[in-house]
């Protein structure tokens, strides 16, 4: 997902608790050499994220077990 955000210049919002760490060591181990190109922000919880979002915003939620592949979604 982070690579997709880097390629499309889309901000990545991560809502805690995360199931992973974002330290330099973990990012290097995961081979995420593109991380410096990702604009990202972490939120302490869902409520903090939703308060920050405009009602007119278009949001895309991505998860590993979703029914539609991100490449098959119709973005506009």
User: Given a cut of 90, is residue 39 above it in pLDDT?
Assistant: yes
pTM as predicted: 0.76
Q: How does strand 12-15 pair with strand 40-43?
A: parallel
The C-alpha atoms of residue 15 and residue 45 are separated, in whole angstroms, by: 6
When comparing pLDDT for 20 and 36, which is higher?
A: 36
| Cβ neighbours of residue 52 closer than 8 Å, sequence gap 6 or more | 43
pLDDT value, residue 21? 82
Q: Does position 50 have pLDDT exceeding 90, yes or no?
A: yes
- 69: which 2 tokens? 């592949």
Q: How confident is the model at residue 17, as a pLDDT?
A: 93
Give the pLDDT band (50/70/90) at residue 54.
Answer: very high
Inform me whether the pLDDT recorded for 76 exceeds 80: no
The DSSP code for 18 is P
Cβ(12)–Cβ(1) below 8 Å: yes
């Amino acid at each position: 997902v982070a690579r997709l955000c880097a390629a499309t210049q889309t901000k990545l919002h991560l809502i805690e608790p995360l199931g992973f760490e974002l330290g330099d060591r973990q990012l290097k181990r995961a081979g995420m050499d593109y991380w410096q190109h990702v604009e990202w922000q972490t939120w302490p919880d869902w409520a903090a994220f939703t308060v920050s979002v405009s009602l007119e915003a278009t949001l895309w939620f991505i998860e590993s077990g979703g029914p539609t592949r991100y490449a098959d979604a119709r973005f506009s």
